[in-house]
Amino acid sequence: MGDVEELNNEQKEAVLHTDGPLLVVAGAGAGKTRVITYRIKHLIDSGIRPENILAITFTNKAAREMRERVEKLLGAGGTLPTVGTFHSLGANICRAHARALGRTKYFTILDRDESIGLIKEAMRSANVDEKRFEPKKILGAISRAKGDGFSLSEYKAEAGNEFYPKLVAGIWEKYQALVNKAKAFDFDDLLLETVKLLKREPEILKNYQDLFKYILIDEYQDTNTVQYDLARLLAGEKKNLCVVGDVDQSIYSWRGADFENLLRFEQDFPGAKVVLLEENYRSTQTILTAANQVISKNKKRHEKNLFTKNNEGEQISLIANLSELAEADFVASEAKKLIANGEVASNVAVLYRANFQSRVLEEAMLRHNVAYQVLGTRFFERKEVKDVMAYLKAALNDEDYASLARASGTPARGIGKVTLAKIAAGEKDSLPSAMKQKVGELFSTLGQIKLALETKIASEVIKSILMLSGLESSLKKGSEDDLERLENLRELVTLATKYDYLPAPDGILALLEEVALASEQDSLNEKKDGVKLMTVHAAKGLEFNDVFITGLEQDLFPHVGFGESDRDEEEERRLFYVAITRARKKVYLCYAQTRALYGARQVTVPSEFIFDISDDLLEASEHHLNNLPNGGKSYLPDIFF
């Protein structure tokens, strides 16, 4: 296992290159993770110490899979290199140098919901109407600015007197004050503060450059400015930086990713070795030919042509449906047939461009009695899991009043907003004696949890919280839903066991970090069989035997966006390319001839992307509703019959 002779010539070339910058342009399904993991093994076999190797990717799921593959290659028991996400690396550096950043090592990492809560508080403080300016969009603008490397003062200077940027700057100032008061960092601070620290403290930077002598970065086309800066800072003068990526799969410009970082790599690192991986191990040649035809229209890319030694495969099915209801009906009935013919349900995926499309697809799955899972409902977003996390955060960080407020109300203790405001203002002593007792009991509980945190392994800490907080006894006495919540909390104990090898409190800090940095793909870790429903964005990095791509209509896919000027045609085409290349065996392209949007039914035009694929690769058919009362006529105006 792990013999370099198992690789093709191009993969071998990338693996055996040791010193100096290396760019690996890896097409979809071309074995890039294999190249990264084999390269790590080759470096270690060449005498490089594992602790001197850093491998970075973007999601917890990808990092976990990479770590498992590296461990399998190296064999159990040895030292492993550092394998993680950009944000987990940032969190570790921030914790190691917390004092220099004005924090303790127990700082809170705010998840997205907590950040939005503070944005709303900042907006109220600034007298900005939430109905007129959406808090999520305000947070998005701040997040994008931080990802572009802007500090608040730089952003304010850039904003000048322009209305919206000036508004965002004012809210950002109040939001950041709240974040600082809670002794917390938000998701973007983990990287921005890390980069600022390394630029400000040459000695700290040199320590990390000496530690991480060899750096490997996956999905380099998805890096934003701050991630790009962090990679270049750590690579230093040695420039032992290997980046793997594919411009054709760059689909995150709206969150600040800049694929030019990949295109510019050879300028940034003159003399860099470049290896092109074009052999695909996933899909049939029919699927790859279609993907090549689609993406060849884009101008900003590395020229490449995917091929495979797999068989030619089936034609791509193109299905015209009368409406979105007929489309959903076709998808569910066809998925049911695939499963009846022996396909595993979880190997079937239904992809859509916009989240709203999932509703009719879910209804059709229920109607046809097809088990399904919608990607994006994350385990860590469940209320009961967030409640336990609130106890953890409040026990670790006595400035985190948002977590304290949540913990105080679950289970209910009769501690209201006025009392919490007095606690936050340091006026605990002015409380009435009965309330003082309730508050005292809460703080005593948090003190016991803190003791557990400092002395027990991670899973035992979670068990302690369930008992000490009263959550376990409260849920045991509750409804069927409450008992299900208790099951979820017991699952959290199981999840925490993977950190039991770490000493206290490091195991719990690692768990908190995983929770805060979870992505929607992490919901796939829940053992749930069924057809997978998800947006194309969420499908990035995944693969399935059979893939339905739905809503292939002009203005839906490609999407016109909602005043989002950064959604360009090339990115939409890349997104379609990503959708097609998720499939191993069969692709279904589906569109509706009419679709209800915003309450009104509109006649649609098939997506231009369909016409990028040559006719000989397609088999076309039509589908009408066959499974709804009255043939579905009650769902459509008479004009369509």
Active site residue 218: yes
Active site residue 32: yes
Q: Residue 525 has what DSSP assignment? A: G
Say whether the peptide bond before residue 411 is cis (omega within 30 degrees of 0).
yes
d(CA 42, CA 216): 13
Closest by CA position to 259, among listed 306, 302, 295, 230:
302
Q: Is 408 exposed, middle or buried (0-12, 13-18, 19+ CB in 10 A)?
A: buried
Q: Which of 219, 222, 387, 522 is catalytic?
A: 219
Active site residue 104: no
**CA dist list (Å): 262 to 225, 229, 247, 361:** 12, 13, 7, 37
Q: Which of 12, 13, 18, 33 is catalytic?
A: 33
Active site residue 219: yes
* Interior/surface letters 474-497, b for 16+ CB within 10 angstroms, e for the rest: bbeeeeeeeeebbeebeebbebbe
Contact of 619 with 286, CB cutoff 8 Å: no
CA atoms within 13 A on the CB side of 566: 10
Strand partners, 592: 321
**Residue 314, by phi and psi: left (phi above 0), alpha (psi -120 to 50) or beta?**
beta
Q: Which of 249, 308, 410, 445 is catalytic?
A: 249
d(CA 381, CA 378): 5
Active site residue 249: yes
Active site residue 582: yes
Q: Which of 69, 146, 582, 585 is catalytic?
A: 582
d(CA 72, CA 69): 5
Can you read off the two tokens belonging to residue 526? 């829940």
**CA dist list (Å): 17 to 13, 267, 281, 513:** 6, 19, 22, 34
d(CA 91, CA 94): 5
Find all residues with CB under 8 Å of 210, minimum gap 6, and list them.
none
Residue 83 DSSP SS3: strand
d(CA 6, CA 544): 24
Q: Which of 186, 188, 218, 571 is catalytic?
A: 218
Contact of 438 with 414, CB cutoff 8 Å: yes
Which residues have a catalytic role annotated? 32-33, 218-219, 249, 582
